[in-house]
A and B are shown apart, each in its own frame.
Chain A
């Protein structure tokens, strides 16, 4: 029989980034005994990497702004595949979530009249992002962390990785995990479980993600029988560092462009003017003079550098391919020639430091070299918009691990608001579910024993393959074949290679003992990464069009008639295979639909 500890909770939250902490704060504030499990130390979650800000139509800088315009921007940025109700809730509630952070001590940058300052970002009609320089995510996580630690009903379990959700009678009854420090197992018995595990970036080679981003929550939900939504949509952020090689993928905030930075090719041309799609032509400036006037006068049309991320990433890719790239295979991002050194250092302090320390580049004097980097997962657990409930009872999902909110492409600044709005909703709904659920579900010790034995397999394998090597192959496969530009033959090859990789996972070998053993941890994380990569690849094969974060070389245009009206549902079938099928989009109510008929919203 397996040896493990048992913790009993009302609500288990998996993940301690913005969504997880906000969910836990809400749940514990409602009196539910809440536990938060995180793979790292508290306060280190990937949310700290968010730079630009929180999009919220507070109207502090442009009084004309309101939730309807934010809603419209979000839907258009997602190429209308978003769940309209999630986009609506997000746009309506984001301002209150920002004011709440301010109340809890977040020190946002201020307007001249002392209110919260808002900055411009791609795809947003008005300056809308509440921010703290270019380290908004750090401010957010620290604020939530220092809200959470004082709550009596909230307990944090650090450096603890969840292996599987426990499912009894079709309901999620908690999870089994291991302490990274000792390698011992622990069972969390819970009446409701919230997934807030973030994304999948570590499945790709060039990524802005930290080691934690191994798709755990996506895989946990899949294995528990939950529906996954639109898994093909992976966002490649247009501007990651590309030099030196060790810094490749590290994010360069969109705030650089929001604050006046422009993209140039090796000929010095602002090439984005050549890539304005018809969908955004009416609202995008077609000459430099108008684009430059926009920063001060919003009656002008937006600079094309601030098109949604998918458009900019594709354009950079095309310029490099056409031989007009920078020396290391990217393009130039230039703010030095456009803003004063004092302005740059004040607005973008961590970008300034990052380039100076890692690349010997002074961004107040010379341009940066940038290129696309895997950044965000739009697809995720299918949830009920108002409660964040997954399709398996007792399971909730919020933040990046949940699907639907961002459609096929997320706008910058909409992630942090997403974490707060839906973190809070998931926490409240989970606490309510726990309250009405009665007691804890039964604990199937045989199920627990099986999962424990399975986790220890890498030690039982007397020798075998290195998890580091398998990980490298997985990243290369996803980068080369399921990356920013996709095509049928390559996706099919990726599908076949993933079958091979999945077959090798049980043979992975871990040296040493169970105490804080990264090789063993990676061997376990790879199970999730391979499962999620498979979902992405299969869903991408099925979507025979180009839309948002999914660009098909063999189907270069969007298909408004069929794919534009369907989401993709991915799930694990009884026989262990992953299936993909299309479902019609939920119908938008007329009062929201009419927002898209007008040329502009005012």
Chain B
């Protein structure tokens, strides 16, 4: 390599060196490696990781896109806490100490700071999408802002999967992934269930296939959400209440007996419970055919 650190310095003034302790390796193993690197005023962790990449470790694998907290690509565990690297300012970390960055632990490691998050894309497909009611006679859907506020909160989700990463149901118990959708997809289910236009009832699915009951509301997911969705209070607990009302509330049970047909169409089976291997192969888009 012909590049020197001086050539890439952004500002003429002397900037302090920091130690970045980055996990390097792949599925077969790896370890933390220390890099001494400059950090300038106002920088975020991702800036400094990029400087390591540009000056010392050109093959350092790290996912990122927008660098503005909007795409949810650069998720990692910074000093042990699941965070977006692009929204973690260096000045918020303890000065003089090494900054330790590891890939998300809940998912298999691909390389360095990049993990295989395909689990999430498989779960996503199991939840049936919106089935909207018909439009009004004038061709519009009429929805009051107050009725769409909650759905808009859930739609803030940037799919960084930090909530999935921190959730102990799957973080500590790999086997649970087969029958537990995780906080991200409870938010997705809640966004559909609470959508003013929707006509489906996904409670049977949530109870029997998506593992809603496994959540014991420790609120870790809410704490790490970078866009501030109240995952536990506003999505998971209301979903749990709806399931309880639907299955165990005697008055609701009586109401259903009296009413001729349910207001919403119940969904009892997940869509494509496994990644379907149709004519086109597995979906959505496993990256590489050579792997398990």
Say yes or no for A142: interface residue by CB 8 A criterion: yes
The smallest C-beta distance from A440 to any residue of chain B, in angstroms, reads 15
Q: CA separation between A41 and B143, bound complex, in Å?
A: 32
Chain A contacts for B192, CB-based, 8 A: 105
Report which of A49, A245, A516 forms a contact with B41, defined as CB distance below 8 A: A245
Instruction: Using CB atoms, name the residue of chain A closest to B125.
Output: A149
Residues of B within 8 A of A159 (CB): 287
- Knowing A466-B1, A518-B58, the reply to whether A211 touches B65 (Cβ < 8 A) is yes
- For B51, give the chain A residue with the smallest CB separation: A468
A210-B129 contact given A107-B152, A132-B152, A518-B60, CB 8 Å threshold: no
B284 touches A42 (CB 8 A): yes
In whole angstroms, what is the CA distance A142 to B227 when docked?
15
Q: Are A48 and B58 in contact (CB under 8 A)?
A: no
Known: A142-B155, A211-B64, A511-B59. Contact between A468 and B2, CB under 8 A? no
Q: A560 → chain B, closest Cβ, in Å?
A: 39
8 Å CB contacts to B: which residues of A30-64?
33, 35-36, 40-46, 48-49
Question: Are A247 and B71 in contact, with the CB atoms below 8 A?
Answer: no
Q: Which of B41-87 contact A (CB under 8 A)?
A: 41-44, 47, 53-55, 58-73, 87
Q: Which of A498-544 contact B (CB under 8 A)?
A: 509-513, 515-520
Interface centre among B68, B139, B156, B291 (most CB of A within 10 A): B68
Contact (Cβ within 8 A) A516 B68: no
- Summed over the interface, the residue pairs from A and B with CB atoms below 8 Å come to a total of 219
Mostly, the B contact residues are: loop
Q: Is the CB of B8 within 8 A of A472?
A: yes
A146 to B43, CA, bound (A): 34
Complex Cα distance, B64 from A109, in Å, reads 29
Interface size of B by CB at 8 A reads 78
Residue among A105, A211, A251 making CB contact with B68, cutoff 8 Å: A251
Is the CB–CB distance between A43 and B129 below 8 Å?
no
Residue B271 is within 8 A (CB to CB) of chain A in the complex: yes
Cβ contact of B287, chosen from A36, A103, A139, A181, cutoff 8 A: A181
* Size class of the contact patch on chain A: 35 or more
- Select A155's contact among B59, B89, B151, B281, beta carbons within 8 Å: B281
Q: Which residues of A contact B54 (CB under 8 A)?
A: 466, 468-469, 472
In the complex, 16 of the A-B residue pairs with CB atoms within 8 angstroms, ordered by the A residue number, are: A42-B121, A49-B71, A114-B141, A146-B124, A157-B285, A158-B285, A181-B288, A210-B65, A250-B67, A358-B44, A468-B55, A472-B54, A509-B1, A511-B1, A518-B53, A519-B53
B contact residues vs A (CB 8 Å cutoff):
1-3, 7-8, 10-11, 26, 40-44, 47, 53-55, 58-73, 87, 89, 110-112, 114, 117, 121, 124-125, 129-130, 132, 139-145, 148, 151-152, 155-159, 192, 195, 197, 227, 271, 278-281, 283-285, 287-291
Known: A42-B284, A114-B144. 15 other contacts (CB 8 A): A44-B65, A49-B68, A103-B141, A109-B148, A110-B144, A132-B152, A155-B281, A159-B287, A181-B288, A210-B65, A468-B8, A468-B53, A468-B58, A469-B3, A519-B58
Which 4 pairs of residues, A with B, have the shortest CB-CB distance? A244-B42, A519-B58, A512-B59, A114-B142
